[in-house]
Amino acid sequence: MQLDLTDKVIQVAAASQGLGYAIAEQAAAEGARLCICSRDPDAIDAAAQRIRDRGAEVMATALDVRDGAAVAAWTEACIERFGRLDGLVVNAGGPPAGGFDEFEDADWQAAFELNLLSAVRLIRAARPALARSQGAVLTITSSAAREPIDALLLSNVMRSGVVALVKSLSRTLGSEGIRVNNLIPGTIETDRLRALHGQMAQAMGTSVEAVQEHVCAQIPLGRLGQADEFARAAVFLLSPIAGYISGANLQIDGGALRGLW
């Protein structure tokens, strides 16, 4: 299937590594031109060069998605560089783990800025250009938005807010031709996950292999997901081929989530 992304322009936030990078790489492989960002200037420049080495055109920017002015400037620079914008991937790292008694007001505010308000600002900045191109917004959240995780209270709340934003905007922006969808990653093998499994192994006094075996036993498909599997779903939803899909929450988790919706 041809996804018809040749020469389309896609913005990907938090794209220096992990799922954001995988989406950028896959979009480039389908012919898209890219505007990517992350907080670390060296990391985002290195990521951009890896993609350029495969023949894609990439604009890399160092910025913090919690900075509204920087987000707006990034979008403006992207449109000035390429003349258009066809897709936006809303992505950011997760807030710290912990329960209700562990967080003060400042922690809640920081999580709000990182995960929910950044989504609002990214979409607000991209909206006029996406309306002109009849483009798409894709947010990346977490399984915590479907099944709350006790140790991830801030993520439970803020990621769920992003899902509500997606559903609301799919209705109100549909008249402008903008599609808005959300992807829910399950246990996808990334550097972040490997580091987490290493921490778990150390805390439990066992091996990383034992931790991964336990994790995989909870997944019906019996294995970790791969970043490129997640990225292919993302690029499909960004593409014109998915032209009648909006307001959807698609889980890429090997069947792990138990909910009916």
Q: Please indicate, yes or no, whether residues 113 and 239 belong to a single structural domain of this protein.
A: yes
pLDDT of residue 211: 87
Q: Determine the pLDDT at residue 20.
A: 97
Specify whether the CB–CB gap between 20 and 14 falls below 8 A: yes
84 in any annotated domain:
yes
Of 16, 237, 15, 63, the residue nearest 75 (C-alpha):
63
User: Positive or negative CA dihedral for 138, 232, 257, 143?
Assistant: negative
Report residue 199's pLDDT band, with 50, 70 and 90 as the boundaries: confident
| Same domain? 25 vs 139 | yes
71 and 129 part of one domain: yes
Starting at the earlier edge strand, list the strands of the sheet with 58-62.
Answer: 58-62, 33-38, 9-12, 87-90, 136-140, 179-185, 249-252
Q: Over 80: is that where the pLDDT of 219 sits?
A: yes
Q: Are residues 120 and 192 in the same domain?
A: no
Tokens encoding 104: 């003060």
Q: What is the 3-state secondary structure (H, E, C) of the chain?
A: CCCCCCCCEEEECCCCCHHHHHHHHHHHHCCCEEEEEECCHHHHHHHHHHHHCCCCCEEEEECCCCCHHHHHHHHHHHHHHHCCCCEEEECCCCCCCECHHHCCHHHHHHHHHHHHHHHHHHHHHHHHHHHHHCCEEEEECCHHHCCCCCCEHHHHHHHHHHHHHHHHHHHHCHHHCCEEEEEEECCEECHHHHHHHHHHHHHHCCCHHHHHHHHHHCCCCCCCEEHHHHHHHHHHHHCHHHCCCCCCEEEECCCCCCCCC
Q: Are residues 193 and 178 in the same domain?
A: no
> 3-class SS at 87?
strand
Q: Are residues 150 and 217 in the same domain?
A: no
Report pLDDT digits (tens) over 62-96. Answer: 999 999 999 999 999 999 999 999 999 999 998 98
pLDDT average, residue stretch 42-51: 98
Q: Do 152 and 175 reside in the same domain of the chain?
A: yes
96 and 197 within one domain: no
Q: How far is CA 254 from the centre of its chain?
A: 18
Please give the pLDDT value at position 130.
98
Tell me the average pLDDT across 38-51: 98
> In total, how many domains does the chain have?
2
Residue 133 structural domain: 9-187+227-252
216 shares a domain with 113: no
Among 149-158, 184-193, 239-248, the range of highest mean pLDDT: 239-248
pTM for the model stands at 0.94
pLDDT-derived band at 194, boundaries 50, 70, 90? confident
Q: How far apart are CA 228 and CA 233, in angstroms?
A: 9
- Place 208 in a pLDDT band, splitting at 50, 70 and 90: confident
- 46 and 22 in a common domain: yes
DSSP letter at 151 equals T
Do residues 99 and 66 share a domain?
yes
- Whether 261 is in a domain gets the answer no
pLDDT above 70 covers a percentage of the chain that reads: 100
The domain that holds 138 is classified in CATH as: 3.40.50.720
What pLDDT is attached to residue 97?
87
Write the CA distances from 53 to 25, 48, 50, 56, 58, integer angstroms.
11, 9, 5, 7, 10
Please return the burial class of 158, using the count of CB atoms within 10 Å of its CB with bins 0-12, 13-18 and 19+: buried
Report if residue 235 sits inside a domain.
Answer: yes
Claim to verify: residue 109 and residue 206 sit in the same structural domain: no
Residue 257 lies in a domain: no
